[in-house]
C-alpha cells in the first residue's frame, strides 16, 4: 500500500520527521514533485540530516526514488549522496527517466527574474534553485529529461535548441551580458554537454535510472509498502495555493499520482497524511491573515521592524521553533494556526489522518490563538478565497485557547496521548473535530522519539 505525506500549509511543517517516523514500515520512499528547493530534516541518533533532494527514507536505508514529477539538479544529487556516504550511510537512490533536469541556466534565470520582479515589489522569494524556470521548460516542451543525459546525441540536440533561446532571453530581454555572469558556462552548449553527459554516464554506471511508474507499481504488486513524500505544502501548490506566491509544482495529493506514475486509485486506496504545524511559518512573500508582527522585506507593506505584544509573541515562537532560515539565518514569518487554510487543504488533499507537529513550541504562552474564520467585505468565510488579492484583504477572526505549560516532552512522548497537557489536547481536538480528520501523531520535539503516535498508517 501507499502512504502519502503532504504538507498542509506553507512548507516546513515537519514532513521529513514524519517520513522518518512512519517510513520504517516502508520499503521504498519516493518523492513526486519539487527539487532541491525542499529542506527536510531527519534527526536520528543525535545526528541531524538536512535533505534537499534525496528522499528522507534514505537515512534509514530505504530505496529512494525521485519520481517523474521531480526536477533534478544532478550536481545537488551527487553532492548529497556523497555527504550521506561521508556520514556512513549507503543511500540507494533511483531517478525517473522522465524527471526533468535543472540546468545551470535555470538557476541564473530564477535569480534574474526575481531581481526584475523586485523592482516592482512582485518577487516571490524563491529558493533560487531554478525550480520555476525548469518547470517552465517542461511545460514548454523544451526541457531536458534525465534519460536524455544518457544519450549524447539526444542531449546535444536538446541543448542546441534550448540554450540559444535562454541566452537571447538573458541578453536581449533582460539586458544582462552572459560573459559578466558568475557562471558564463551556464550558457555554453559544449560545456553543458560535457558536464551533464558525464552525469548521464554516472547515472548509467550506477544503474540509477528507472521507469518510476513500472518500478513503483511492481513494488506495490509485490506487496511492498511505498511512501510518497511530498515536498513544500498545499498553500504553495501552483494550482491550489496562493498564486503567484507559489512553487511551480503540485505538492497536493493529486500530484502524488501524476508525479510517480502510480494510478490515482492506488494512491487513493492508501492513506494520505496531512502534516500540520501547530502555528504557521512562511518563507517569502504573500499574504498571511493570522501573521504575528512581520518580517521587513517579506511581509507585504511592512517595511520596518515593529515592536509591541504581537512582535513579542512572534519572537517567542520564532526562537522556540528555530524559525530562522537555515542558510541565510533570516527570520521566517510566523502566525497563528489558520483554519480556513486547513479546511481548504483538507478538501483538496482528502487527508485520512493528521500529524500535528511543534506542539511543544507553543508551550509557555498564556494564550494560544487560532484563526477560525475570515471576514471579507462584511462576510464570514470558512475557507480561503481563490485570489491572492482577496486573501490579502481577509481579516482573521481569532478564537483564544488557554496556553499549556512547558513539560518534559520526551516523557510525554513515552507515556502517550493522555500525558499531553490538557489544554494542548483541547487545542488538538478542536483542530481534528473541525477538519473531521483523526490525529495520527503529535510532534512534541524534533526527534523521532519526541512524537506521540496514535495510529500507524501501514
Ligand atoms: P519539512 O520541510 O516539512 O520536512 O520540515 P523542515 O525540516 O524544513 O522543518 C521542520 C523543523 O522543525 C526541523 O528542524 C525539524 O527537526 C523540526 N521539528 C519537526 N517536528 C517538530 C516538533 O514537533 N517540535 C519541534 N520543536 N521541532 C520539530
Ligand atoms: P519544504 O519541502 C517552505 C517557497 C519559497 C518561495 C516559493 C517558490 O522544505 O517544505 P521555489 O524556489 O520553489 O520556486 O520558491 O516557495 N518554498 C518553500 N517554503 N518550504 C519549502 O520546502 C519550500 N520550497 C519552496 O520560499 O516562497
Ligand atoms: Mg523544509
Ligand positioned closest to the Cα atom of 413 = 1
The per-residue pLDDT for 266 is 98
**C-alpha distances in angstroms, 34 versus 85, 228, 368, 374?**
23, 13, 33, 30
Closest-lying ligand 1 atom to the alpha carbon of residue 41: 7
Pairing of the two strands 280-282 and 333-335: antiparallel
pTM attached to this predicted model: 0.97
pLDDT band at 329 (very low <50, low <70, confident <90, very high): confident
Q: 392-418, pLDDT tens digit by residue?
A: 999 999 999 999 999 999 999 999 999
3-state secondary structure (DSSP) of residue 222: coil
The answer to whether 100 is a known catalytic residue is: no
Residues of the chain with CATH 3.90.170.10: 278-453
Active site residue: 20, 36, 40, 344, which one? 40
CATH of 278-453, one of 3.80.30.20, 3.40.50.1820, 3.40.630.30, 3.90.170.10: 3.90.170.10
Residues of the chain with CATH 3.40.440.10: 2-95+211-275
CATH of 2-95+211-275, one of 3.40.440.10, 3.10.129.10, 3.30.565.10, 3.40.50.300: 3.40.440.10
d(CA 212, CA 71): 14
pLDDT at 328 over 80: no
Residue 406: CB within 6 Å of ligand 1? no
pLDDT at 93 over 90: yes
Ligand positioned closest to the Cα atom of 283 = 2
Q: What is the CA radius of gyration of the chain?
A: 22
Residue 64: CB within 6 Å of ligand 2? no
Average pLDDT value for the chain: 96
Q: Which of 109-113, 117-121, 227-231, 300-304 has the lowest mean pLDDT?
A: 300-304
Residues of the chain with CATH 1.10.300.10: 101-203
DSSP 60: G
The per-residue pLDDT for 168 is 98
| 239: its cell numbers | 494550482
Q: 160-213, pLDDT tens digit by residue?
A: 999 999 999 999 999 999 999 999 999 999 999 999 999 999 999 999 999 999
Residue 259: CB within 6 Å of ligand 1? no
Alpha helices in 270-385 (DSSP H): 309-321, 339-349
The answer to whether 40 is a known catalytic residue is: yes
Q: What angle do CA 397, 122, 10 make, to 5 degrees?
A: 45
* Residue 128 alpha carbon to ligand 3 centre in Å: 15
pLDDT at 423 over 80: yes
CATH class as words, domain 101-203: mainly alpha
Residue 323: CB within 6 Å of ligand 1? no
Amino acid at each position: 500500500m501507499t502512504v502519502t505525506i503532504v504538507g498542509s500549509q506553507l512548507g516546513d511543517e515537519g514532513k521529513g520527521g514524519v517520513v522518518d517516523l512512519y517510513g520504517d514500515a516502508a520499503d521504498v520512499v519516493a518523492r513526486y514533485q519539487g527539487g532541491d528547493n525542499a529542506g527536510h530534516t531527519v534527526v536520528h541518533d543525535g545526528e541531524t540530516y538536512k535533505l534537499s533532494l534525496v528522499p528522507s527514507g534514505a537515512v534509514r536505508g530505504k530505496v529512494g526514488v525521485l519520481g517523474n514529477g521531480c526536477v533534478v539538479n544532478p550536481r545537488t544529487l551527487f553532492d548529497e549522496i556523497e555527504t550521506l556516504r561521508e556520514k556512513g550511510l549507503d543511500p540507494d537512490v533511483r531517478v525517473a527517466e522522465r524527471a526533468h533536469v535543472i540546468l545551470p541556466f535555470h538557476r541564473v534565470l530564477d535569480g534574474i527574474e526575481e531581481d526584475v520582479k523586485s523592482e516592482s515589489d512582485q518577487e516571490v522569494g524563491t529558493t533560487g534553485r531554478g525550480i520555476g524556470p525548469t518547470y517552465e521548460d517542461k511545460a514548454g516542451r523544451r526541457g531536458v529529461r534525465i534519460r536524455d543525459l544518457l544519450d549524447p546525441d539526444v542531449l546535444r540536440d536538446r541543448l542546441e535548441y534550448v540554450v540559444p533561446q535562454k541566452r537571447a532571453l538573458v541578453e536581449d530581454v533582460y539586458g544582462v551580458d552572459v560573459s559578466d555572469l558568475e557562471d558564463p558556462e551556464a550558457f555554453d552548449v559544449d560545456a553543458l554537454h560535457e558536464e551533464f553527459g558525464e552525469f548521464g554516464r554516472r547515472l548509467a554506471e550506477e544503474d540509477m535510472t528507472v521507469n518510476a511508474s513500472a518500478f513503483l507499481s511492481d513494488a506495490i504488486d509485490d506487496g511492498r509498502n511505498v511512501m510518497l513524500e511530498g515536498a513544500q505544502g498545499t498553500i504553495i501548490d501552483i494550482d491550489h495555493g496562493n498564486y503567484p506566491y507559489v512553487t511551480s509544482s503540485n505538492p497536493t495529493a493529486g500530484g502524488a499520482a501524476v508525479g510517480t506514475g502510480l494510478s490515482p486509485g492506488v494512491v487513493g486506496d492508501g492513506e494520505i497524511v496531512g502534516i500540520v504545524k501547530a502555528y504557521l511559518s512562511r518563507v517569502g512573500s504573500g499574504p498571511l491573515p493570522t501573521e504575528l508582527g512581520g518580517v521587513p522585506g517579506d511581509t507585504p507593506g511592512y517595511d520596518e521592524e515593529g515592536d509591541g505584544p504581537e512582535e513579542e509573541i512572534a519572537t517567542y515562537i520564532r526562537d522556540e521553533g528555530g524559525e530562522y532560515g537555515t542558510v541565510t539565518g533570516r527570520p521566517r514569518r510566523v502566525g497563528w494556526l489558520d483554519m480556513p487554510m486547513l479546511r481548504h487543504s483538507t478538501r483538496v488533499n482528502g487527508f485520512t489522518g493528521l500529524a500535528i507537529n511543534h506542539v511543544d513550541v507553543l508551550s509557555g504562552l498564556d494564550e494560544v490563538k487560532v484563526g477560525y474564520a475570515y471576514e471579507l467585505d462584511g462576510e464570514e468565510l470558512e475557507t480561503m478565497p481563490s485570489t491572492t488579492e482577496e486573501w490579502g484583504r481577509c481579516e482573521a477572526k481569532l478564537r483564544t485557547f488557554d496556553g499549556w505549560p512547558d513539560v518534559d516532552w520526551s516523557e510525554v512522548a513515552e507515556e502517550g496521548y493522555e500525558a499531553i497537557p490538557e489544554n494542548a489536547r483541547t487545542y488538538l481536538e478542536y483542530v481534528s473535530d473541525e477538519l473531521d480528520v483523526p490525529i495520527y501523531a503529535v510532534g512534541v520535539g524534533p526527534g523521532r522519539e519526541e512524537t506521540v503516535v496514535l495510529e500507524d498508517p501501514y
